[in-house]
Structures are given as C-alpha cells and as structure tokens.
C-alpha cells in the first residue's frame, strides 16, 4: 500500500518548456523549503550539465520563481557569478537551462506542486547506489606506469 498522498490539487493551467537564463530566476521559500547555500555550492562544484534535469518554474507577474530544483538553479547562478571555477564548457552549458514553466498558479498551487513533486521522488539507498554504481566506470587517480 502506497503511503504517498496525492490529495493536493492543482487546476489545469498553461505549461511550457523554455530555455531560461538561470540568473533571473528568483526564490520564494513560502511555497518550498529554504535555500541551503552550502548544498547549492556542493552541487555547483560537481555539476554535470547533462544531468541537471528540468527545474520547475512558476511564471508570476513579477518574474520567474523556482518551485522545484531551486538548489540546482542556485548552483548555476553560483557558476555564472564566478563563485566556482569550472570549465568554459560547463559555463556555456548553464547560460540557458531548460525549465518546465507553469503559468497562472496561486501561491497555494505552487506549494501543492512542490509537495507533489517532492513526494514522488525518493533518495537512492546505499544498497541500490552500490549495485548500480558498479556499472559506472571510475577514473584512475594515478598515472599508469
């Protein structure tokens, strides 16, 4: 029996997938968790642009706000502000990121969307990480002789 509760409602509304400059995405902790800057810095230091995923944004009258993916968006902002040294290739890749943009949502709708998206996900447990991780090629940390 599933313990996930999907009783949170969100009305039909426009959704688009747009390329957005992450520097202009804002954050509002009223409808999601608080920004953990140390967590975002750790993400920025190891960011793999092709694994960034698709942050969820709410288009409000006064701008675009992260609803889900806030730490990944802030990591991109840190990179673009030069707070973390990365390759030019990574910097180029985060200049514009694909986001799922929701329009015409109330603050309550944004909160519902955040809860639903985060209840759907579950962390990878240590056993699964080990089992799946054996497939990942690991780079040697020493020069061959």
12 or 122: which leads in pLDDT: 12
Intra-chain end-to-end CA distance of the chain, in Å: 56
117 or 65: which leads in pLDDT: 65
What does residue 3 show for φ and ψ, rounded to 5 degrees? Answer: -100, 0
What does residue 16 show for φ and ψ, rounded to 5 degrees? Answer: -130, 165
pLDDT digits (tens, 9 = 90+) for 68-87: 999 999 999 999 999 999 99
Nearest CA to 6 out of 120, 145, 143, 133 is that of 120
Does pLDDT of 54 surpass 90? yes
Taking the whole predicted model, whether its pTM rises above 0.85 is answered as no
Average pLDDT of span 134-142: 58
Three-state SS at 3: coil
Residue 6's contacts (CB-CB under 8 Å, 6 or more residues apart) are 116, 119
- Rounded to whole angstroms, the maximal C-alpha distance in the chain is 63
Question: What pLDDT is recorded for position 30?
Answer: 87
What confidence tier does 4 reach under pLDDT thresholds 50, 70, 90?
Answer: low
Average pLDDT of span 108-132: 78
Ranges of H-type helices in the chain:
37-45, 70-80, 88-93, 107-120, 126-133
Q: How remote is the C-alpha of 72 from its chain's centroid?
A: 4
pLDDT digits (tens, 9 = 90+) for 28-43: 988 888 999 999 999 9
Question: What pLDDT is recorded for position 128?
Answer: 72
Q: What does the DSSP 8-state code read for residue 109?
A: H
Question: What pLDDT is recorded for position 143?
Answer: 43
Question: What pLDDT is recorded for position 130?
Answer: 73
Task: Give the whole-angstrom CA distance, residue 123 versus residue 106.
Answer: 29
């Amino acid at each position: 029996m599933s313990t996930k509760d999907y009783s949170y409602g969100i009305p039909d509304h426009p959704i688009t997938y747009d390329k957005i400059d992450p520097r202009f995405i804002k954050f509002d902790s009223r409808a999601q968790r608080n920004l953990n800057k140390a967590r975002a810095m750790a993400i920025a230091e190891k960011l793999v642009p092709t694994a960034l995923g698709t942050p969820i944004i709410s288009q409000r009258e006064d701008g675009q706000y992260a609803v889900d993916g806030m730490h990944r968006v802030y990591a991109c902002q840190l990179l673009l502000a030069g707070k973390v040294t990365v390759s030019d290739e990574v910097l180029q890749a985060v200049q514009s990121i694909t986001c799922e943009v929701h329009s015409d949502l109330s603050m309550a709708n944004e909160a519902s969307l955040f809860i639903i998206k985060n209840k759907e996900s579950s962390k990878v447990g240590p056993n699964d990480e080990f089992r799946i991780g054996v497939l990942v090629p690991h780079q040697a940390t020493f020069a061959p002789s």
